[in-house]
């Protein structure tokens, strides 16, 4: 082999290595971009990125594995969404059924419905009154309708009771106040 031939082979090896490393870094770039999009909850974009990477590098193992994982995740999300929609539809159907039953009952028993409404209204009023009474712990003073004579009599009775109480207190004070004086032995 000649020297020029060796240089040519070495040059070709460098070119091949550069092309292969460029291809690997590009496949890696698609993998990284797809992964980043998936992490940021952009599943559709991640799948599109991985698909375009697989078009250029169909044999890349990492891109193929990521594509499988993304497809599985998309299926899971679709199942969860279907489940939520099913539950919502079920709730809506139950509401419709209960409304229909209420309408049928009203048609069959309008008097009973009226009495039920009245009962509900009474209960609501009682609940409001109970809440109001709980809020107002202090009773509001009410004006009593009394004649002037009744007021005088009430005041005299209160004064008499007060005088009796004062006499009792004073009597107790006198009993306590009387201490036996002991004579001193000196």
Q: Supply the range of the domain harboring residue 56.
A: 14-83
- The pLDDT, as a whole number, for residue 171 is 87
Q: Is residue 39 part of a domain?
A: yes
Q: Is residue 76 part of a domain?
A: yes
Q: What gap in Å lies between CA 117 and CA 94, rounded to an integer? A: 22
Q: Is residue 31 part of a domain?
A: yes
- What does pTM read for this prediction? 0.40
Q: Is residue 71 part of a domain?
A: yes
- The pLDDT, as a whole number, for residue 48 is 92
Distance of CA 180 to the CA centre of its chain: 76
Q: Is residue 184 part of a domain?
A: no
Q: How many domains does the chain have?
A: 1
DSSP assignment string, 70-126: HHHHHHHHHHHHHHHHHHHHHHHHHHHHHHHHHHHHHHH-HHHHHHHHHHHHHHHHH
Cα-based angle 179, 182, 186 (whole degrees, multiple of 5): 155
Model pLDDT for residues 2-36, shown as the tens digit of each residue: 777 777 777 766 666 665 555 546 788 888 888 88
Q: What gap in Å lies between CA 133 and CA 121, rounded to an integer? A: 18
- The pLDDT, as a whole number, for residue 79 is 92
How does DSSP classify residue 41? T
- The pLDDT, as a whole number, for residue 141 is 55
Q: Is residue 96 part of a domain?
A: no
Q: What gap in Å lies between CA 186 and CA 139, rounded to an integer? A: 67
Q: Is residue 37 part of a domain?
A: yes
Q: Which residues of the chain have pLDDT under 50?
A: 24
């Amino acid at each position: 082999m000649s020297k020029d031939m060796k240089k040519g082979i070495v040059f070709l090896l460098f070119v091949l290595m550069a092309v292969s490393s460029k291809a690997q870094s590009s496949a890696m770039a698609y993998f990284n971009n797809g992964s980043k999009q998936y992490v940021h909850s952009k599943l559709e974009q991640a799948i599109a990125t991985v698909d375009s990477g697989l078009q250029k590098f169909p044999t890349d193992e990492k891109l193929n594995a990521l594509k499988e994982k993304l497809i599985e995740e998309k299926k899971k999300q679709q199942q969860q969404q279907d489940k939520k929609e099913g539950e919502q539809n079920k709730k809506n159907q139950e509401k419709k059924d209960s409304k229909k039953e209420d309408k049928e009952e009203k048609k069959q028993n309008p008097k009973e419905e009226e009495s039920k409404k009245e009962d509900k209204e009474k209960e609501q009023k009682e609940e409001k009154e109970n809440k109001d009474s709980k809020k107002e712990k202090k009773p509001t003073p009410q004006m009593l309708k009394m004649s002037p004579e009744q007021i005088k009599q009430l005041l005299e009775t209160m004064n008499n009771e007060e005088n009796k109480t004062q006499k009792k207190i004073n009597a107790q004070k006198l009993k306590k106040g009387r201490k036996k004086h002991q004579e001193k032995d000196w």
